[in-house]
Amino acid sequence: MLDVLKQRADRYRDLGKQIEDPAVYGNNKLFAEYQRERGMLREQAEAYAAIIALQAQIAGSEEILKDPAADSEMKELAEAELGELKERYDRLYAQAQDMILLDDEDDARDVILEIRGAEGGDEATLFARELIENYARWCAHRGFKLEVLDEVESEAGGLKNGTYRIKGDQVWKAFKYEGGGHRVQRVPVTETQGRIHTSLATVAVLPEMEDVKIEIKESDLDVTAARSGGPGGQNVNKTSSRCQMRHLPSGLFVDCQATPSFHKNRDEALRILKSKLYQMEKEKRDREQAAKRGVQVGSGGRGDKIRTYNFPQDRCTDHRSKESFPLQKVMAGDIDPLIESCRKWEKEEKLKALSAQTA
C-alpha cells in the first residue's frame, strides 16, 4: 500500500511542477485536467507524507528504548509517546487504505444529476421533487453549488424529470452512491383510506466531462429546437430555445432548456451527452473489473433499487450496506451517514475479493 501511496504522492508533486509550466497554464483544458487530477491526489499525497513522518517518529522512540545510555525517565517518556504514535499510525494507515481501495478517477469531477418520477404516478413525481429538494439541502451543507439545467413538472406539482449540475470540491466522491432506484413507502396525501403506497423515483449520477475526453461526430446527432415549457418569462413558450438532442449510435436522448438561448442549451446538452457516454463506458468497465475480482458493486443504474424510505417507520434503509437511519434526519439533508455506510460496504467487498485472490 505504501508503494502505491508513494507513486501517487510523486505524481502529485510532478503535477504541481507541470501546472507552473507556461505551456500548461496557457492551455485552459490541459490546466483544468491537471488541476483536477492533482485535487484527486492531494489527500493521498498528504497521507503519505504524514505516514512517513510518523514512521520516523516511531523509529526515534524505539531507538531511545534500545539505547543503554538513555536514563529511565527518558525511556518512560519515549514508551508513552510510542503508544500514541502507533495509535495515530494505525488510524492514518486505515484512512490511507480507504483512499486506495475506494479511489475513483472521477472523485474530483463535478456531477450531472438526473432525477425522474418512475413507478407510482403522481406520488412518484412528488417524491422525486422531495429528493432534489433534499439534495439541495445537502449541497448547502457541503458547500456545493446546484444549478437547474432542465425540469418538467407533473400536474400534481411533482417532478416528472429534472437535470442538474452540481459543482464543488469532491462532488462525485459524495454523490456517486446516489445513482439508482429510490423507493418510498408512505400514505399519499390523496389516499383517503390510509393505505400505504410504494413508489419509485430514479436517480442517475454522471461525472461531468470536458470536451477533450469524448469525441462525438456531428453526423451522429439528431438535434431539434422546441419551445420551452413551464413557468418563465413572456417568451418562454414563444421562442424555440429548448434543445432536444439524440445520439443516433447509442440512442441516448438529452432535453435541455437551461437558458433562453438555443445555442447555449445546445452546448449544455452536448456536455450532458458526453457525460452519459462516458458513464456508459465507465459502468461497462467497472462491471468487467468487478466480475474479475468477485466484487459485489452495483452499477448505479436506474434499475438498481438502492434505498427504501419508509415513512410510517421513520426508517431509511440502504440495500447495499444493509444499514438503516432515522428518516427525518435523512430528509433534512443529513445524508453523510448513509454515504459513509456505502463506503464501508464497498471497502469490505473489495477486501473480500482481495483476500479470495490471495488465498
139-179 pLDDT, tens digit each: 999 999 999 998 999 988 899 999 999 999 889 988 999 99
Strand order in the sheet with 305-310: 145-153, 159-167, 111-117, 197-207, 180-186, 305-310, 315-318, 323-326
Share of the chain above pLDDT 70, in %: 88
* Domain ranges, ordered by start, for the chain: 2-101, 111-349
Average pLDDT, the chain: 86
Looking at residue 211, its pLDDT comes to 54
Q: Is the pLDDT of residue 214 over 80?
A: no
CA distance linking residue 20 with residue 17, whole number of Å:
5
CA distance linking residue 82 with residue 68, whole number of Å:
17
Q: Is the pLDDT of residue 9 over 80?
A: yes
Looking at residue 358, its pLDDT comes to 57
Fold of 111-349: Alpha-Beta Plaits (3.30.70)
pTM above 0.85, yes or no: no
Model pLDDT for residues 299-323, shown as the tens digit of each residue: 444 557 999 999 999 999 999 999 9
Looking at residue 328, its pLDDT comes to 96
Q: What is the DSSP string of 46-68?
A: HHHHHHHHHHHHHHHHHHHHH-T
